[in-house]
Amino acid sequence: MSSHEAVPRYQIGDHVRIDKDVTTMPALPAYVGIVKEIIHSYADKTIGYNLTLDADPRPGRVWFFLQHQLTPA
């Protein structure tokens, strides 16, 4: 994995779009959300993000996605 993947592309508060190929249990209530936390995995040099999703019936719920699963919204 290249070192540029270890640098966050998004910041807290950014709106991001989740790749439509991503599947979750339960199903995603929306494919757009807001970054709430940036998670660095130094072991494998990747970045993950905790998001809240638009239209989530449980607004306090947080979803985790890897950087490659997201694009700017």
Mean pLDDT of 30-52: 95
Tokens 């040099």 found at: 45
Q: Which domains does the chain have, with CATH numbers?
A: 3-72 (2.30.30)
| pTM listed for this prediction | 0.87
pLDDT number for residue 43: 87
pLDDT number for residue 71: 98
pLDDT number for residue 52: 98
pLDDT number for residue 25: 92
Q: What percent of the chain has pLDDT over 90?
A: 82
* Backbone region of residue 29 per phi and psi (left: phi > 0; alpha: psi in -120 to 50; beta: other values): alpha
- pLDDT tens sequence across 12-33: 999 999 999 999 999 999 999 9
